[in-house]
Chain A
């Protein structure tokens, strides 16, 4: 099966600029996650979708981050305006319905550098 697709692979922007990331999950996976992985740390959940609804966005900095999954398939994550501390790898993952007791499948991530 095709894996989780993400683009772009790399992005360099200046602080206060905007950036958007795209994710296409594994076909049939209802649950989609965006994780932020800062260098040397474990992935930190930003937002979780079940189909096109938000299940958990408690860790999403909503003053600058937004995400959507309008048709329950692809998702975009946006940062506006970016800060230096947003430099990280943004990982998208998908899982089967509900995701309970089942693994997450990660994409290759987007490496964001904010200068």
Chain B
């Protein structure tokens, strides 16, 4: 089936701390894993993505790691800032291999100044 599980649903950290959000997927053939950030009342925006031929990708303070054996991938945000506060969604391709993305339930990140 098509399922993406995301944890935790809420995460509160102090400014400067790290935040980690984890997602698991069900289709072992999945090979593309994006992360989206959605601020209140705004559209989801891509912040980083990873393809299955690499295990880790970094972009400044954010990184994504992928474990294909365990079928999970994680978003890591270091040196968190108040503007990182938002809802974060992971996604993975659907099993029908049509290019569609199945989204996780979302993680509300709160960074306390």
Contact = CB atoms under 8 A, between A and B. Distances in A.
Interface of A: 31, 33, 35, 40-45, 48, 50, 55-56, 91, 95, 98-109
Interface string B20-59: 0000000000011010100000111110010100000000
Which of B31, B99, B105, B106 has the largest count of A CB atoms less than 10 A from its CB? B99
B86 interface: no
Contacts of B94: 45, 56
Which of B36, B100, B105 has most A Cβ within 10 Å?
B100
A31 B99 CA distance: 9
A42 B104 contact: yes
A35 B102 CA distance: 10
A42 B43 contact: no
B89 A42 contact: yes
A42 B98 contact: no
B32 A42 contact: no
A99 B98 contact: yes
Contact of A106 (B43, B51, B99, B100): B43
B60 interface: no
A44 B103 CA distance: 7
Contact of A102 (B32, B96, B98): B32
B98 A55 contact: yes
18 contacts: A33-B100, A35-B103, A42-B6, A43-B44, A45-B100, A45-B101, A50-B98, A55-B100, A99-B99, A100-B97, A101-B32, A102-B32, A102-B99, A104-B46, A104-B101, A105-B46, A106-B44, A108-B42
